Amino acid sequence: MNDLIPYIPSSIRDSLASLSFFSAEISLILGFLLVILADLFFSKRYPQLSFILALLTLLLVAYQSSGFLKIDSTPMFGGMIIMDHLSILFKLLFCLASILFVLFIRFNRAFQNHDKGFGDMYAILLAVHLGLNLMAMSANLLMVYLSLEMVSLGSYLMVGYLSTGQRQTEAAMKYALFGAVCSAIMLYGMSLLYGFTGTLYLNDPAFLSGLNSVPVMASGLALIMVFIGIAFKLSLVPLHFWSPDVYEGAPTPVTAFLSTAPKIAGFAVLVKFLEIFYDPGSKTLSSSMLDLNYILAFLAILSMLLGNFVAIWQNNVKRMLAYSSIGHTGFMLMALFIFSTSGFKAIIFYMAIYVIMNMAAFMIVDEIEEKTGKQNIDEYKGLGKQNSLLMISLLIILISLTGLPPTVGFTAKFLVFSSALEAYNLSGSAILLIMIMIASLSTVVSLFYYFKVPLNAFLRESPDPVKLSIRSAKVYMGIFLAFLLLLLIVFPSMLEQLI
């Protein structure tokens, strides 16, 4: 024990020096405490105080994070977390998703009328947001596990928060049990990785050399176990079973959040893991032990195919969007496959657009569900005639999700495809070509299910047409986001200069 004493002053100095880079997370922690206290003591007199505090905290966090945008790779807290440009971009994406989510809850009737109050939801959100930020920065297996669990526990609570009926509790139970199993498998994989390498730091050279010195079967098993935990968060195909059920059963704002922020954080962790195996010389993932390239490509192809084809048969809108988000995950995994600067630019741009599109789609779907109780696509008949502005915004969002002009979804898809083609021209790997072909095929397939909604809304007649009032904050937000999707194709530089 005594031989550790000389290290104490230096590690304390390091931790104190790290605190100045940790300001965004400190604000989150303070905001979390403030929201809890505000909800405890002032929820009777000022019911919206927790909402305002959460929103202000998130805006502050976005501002503080953007201050570090031009940062070089900075290890903090003894290398437990590493802050670099990419992690700041991820953090800004989380802020975008969380801010939209906070506004979404504010104007969701089920949450506002919940008899236990909605203040705790904001507190859970801020805790989850802290976990997301740490996920994007983690550089240590302990940090990866800790932050992933923070996000998972918060998400289970979010799904089960309202618990107003059978479906919501069932979704929460499925999510919690499946998630706990996946994280236990990941923990076991991490313990094996620790045993093989003797270190928990991902960027430690001993980590890769330790992995290379054990038989492929052993290191491959441990890595696959860790990837199971990450793939659960991403809802990649062999581990996607939970996502349609949970997305359908959960309250719609929570579905919108789950389909964006934790998924993006999963990608951030995946990048951290893949960076270990990235070989700058050959610009590919080094495949000396286990061919990660093929496994990832296989998962991406499966996700794209299954997500998009199964979505065709769905009648529930939320379920359809769940399957489509599995397809989008596969597509993003393809973008991740291109391990280069342009590949990262493309994927961040795609993710930002994906957050806007998904949030907007769920907002309008939620508005329709709230006012009319319609959840199925075939019930949307005739909605377009009566509520043209609302349904035209939904149409724009769906066009953007498909990836067609004149929306920015096209730009995002185009950037991914062009950087994939560029990578193919450089490497000439057949597997990349297959992925590009599958991706373009699944884009065509996605037309069929996305356009079922406007087909029903505009071209089919309904015996009893419903007129929705447009005067609702959620509709305004949905229309604004749809307009943003149109605007950004003219000015993509507004987003690009950030990246």
- Is the CB of 166 or the CB of 425 nearer to other proteins? 166
117 Rama class: left (phi>0) / alpha (psi -120 to 50) / beta: left
Q: Count of alpha carbons within 13 Å of 67, Cβ hemisphere only?
A: 11
- Is the CB of 149 or the CB of 422 nearer to other proteins? 149
Which of 13, 116, 167, 283 binds other proteins (CB under 8 A)? It is 167
For the segment 177-216, give every residue that binds other proteins (CB under 8 A).
177, 180-181, 183-185, 187-188, 190-192, 194-195, 198-200
The CA distance from 354 to 260, in Å, is 8
- Is the CB of 319 or the CB of 452 nearer to other proteins? 319
| Region near other proteins per CB under 8 A, out of 150-158, 414-422, 454-462, 471-479 | 150-158
Binding of residue 365 to other proteins (CB under 8 A): no
Chain position carrying tokens 């890595």 = 223
Binding of residue 158 to other proteins (CB under 8 A): no
Binding of residue 142 to other proteins (CB under 8 A): yes
Which of 313, 476, 480, 483 binds other proteins (CB under 8 A)? It is 313
Rounded to whole angstroms, what are the CA distances from 422 to 35, 158, 328, 403, 440?
48, 41, 21, 20, 16
- Is the CB of 294 or the CB of 313 nearer to other proteins? 313
208 Rama class: left (phi>0) / alpha (psi -120 to 50) / beta: alpha
For the segment 237-276, give every residue that binds other proteins (CB under 8 A).
244-245, 248-249
Q: Which residues contact 357 (CB under 8 A, 6 or more apart)?
A: 397, 400, 401, 409, 481, 485
In the numeric block, which tokens belong to residue 31?
């905001």
Binding of residue 145 to other proteins (CB under 8 A): yes
Binding of residue 231 to other proteins (CB under 8 A): no
Binding of residue 174 to other proteins (CB under 8 A): yes
Q: Count of alpha carbons within 13 Å of 88, Cβ hemisphere only?
A: 21
Q: Count of alpha carbons within 13 Å of 147, Cβ hemisphere only?
A: 25
Q: How far is the CB of 317 from other proteins (least distance, A)?
A: 14
Q: How far is the CB of 421 from other proteins (least distance, A)?
A: 35
DSSP category for residue 455:
I
The three-point CA angle 53-56-58 to 5° equals 110
Q: How far is the CB of 141 from other proteins (least distance, A)?
A: 7
Site of interaction with other proteins (CB under 8 A)? 4, 141-142, 145-146, 149, 152-153, 156-157, 160, 163, 165-167, 169-174, 176-177, 180-181, 183-185, 187-188, 190-192, 194-195, 198-200, 244-245, 248-249, 310, 313-314, 319
